[in-house]
Structure 1
Amino acid sequence: MARLLSGEEIETALAALEGWRREGDALVRDIPITPDSYDWLSQAVTNEADVVDHHPDIERTGQGIRFRLTTHSAGGVTQRDVELAARIDHVVNGAARDRG
């Protein structure tokens, strides 16, 4: 089973993850997007998640999309969540460059 990160380890990880925050037992990031971007962005993140076999909760919000990461089997945030957050950032930043 994956090891839960300490509060200090989570804070250190969040310092390197732009736009992410801790909400209870999860890492969360809200990203403003246009409504027509939701499907391709959620699919691109799902593809990354499939590679590492660790899947986020993805939710459509009024302003865009929300990613919530937690390791359910461990009951909180693990290194797998931090790694997936970084992969999501890579997808989002690449999409911004492609569209910008």
Structure 2
Amino acid sequence: MTELLTDRDIEDARLTDWTVAGKSLTRTVELASFRAAIAVVNGVADAAEAADHHPDIDIRWRTLTFTLSTHSAGGLTQKDVDLARRIDALIAN
């Protein structure tokens, strides 16, 4: 089983655009257009498949909300931090 992160581990990850809500990390972002939002979703889908770790994604026109949690571990793990950083990079591009 994957090791759960402590509150300190999550703090040390410095995921400034993400919030911790219970056992999940969440980030909402508004893109310039619907097509730009879907391009980010497609990039996240590729990253998630490669990592075998899949976020919940809510699509509302050009607003995306990503929620990360390692359900099999019962909370946040390094997998969530790694995917959050990858999502951040995709949004930045």
- Hey, what does 1:8 align to over in structure 2? 8
CA distance in structure 1 between the partners assigned to 2:8 and 2:51 by the alignment = 24
Structure 1 residue 72 corresponds to structure 2 residue 71: yes
Structure 1 residue 83 corresponds to structure 2 residue 82: yes
Post-superposition offset of 1:10: 1.1
- Equivalent pair of 2:37/2:62 in contact (CA under 8 Å): no
- Equivalent pair of 2:36/2:62 in contact (CA under 8 Å): no
For structure 1, the residue ranges without an aligned partner over 5 or more in a row are 95-100
Post-superposition offset of 1:18: 3.2
Runs of 4 or more consecutive aligned structure 1 residues displaced over 6 Å after TM superposition:
none
- Indicate which of 15, 23, 26 corresponds to 2:24: 26
Amino acid at match of 2:78: Q
CA distance in structure 2 between the partners assigned to 1:91 and 1:24 by the alignment = 25
Post-superposition offset of 1:8: 1.2
Post-superposition offset of 1:81: 0.2
CA distance in structure 2 between the partners assigned to 1:30 and 1:74 by the alignment = 24
> Aligned pair count?
92
Q: Deviations 1:28-52 (Å, cap 9, x if unpaired)? A: 1100122332322211100011111
* RMSD, aligned α-carbons: 1.4
SS at match of 1:84: helix
CA distance in structure 1 between the partners assigned to 2:26 and 2:61 by the alignment = 16
Q: Which moved more, 1:71-80 or 1:18-27?
A: 18-27
CA distance in structure 2 between the partners assigned to 1:69 and 1:91 by the alignment = 16
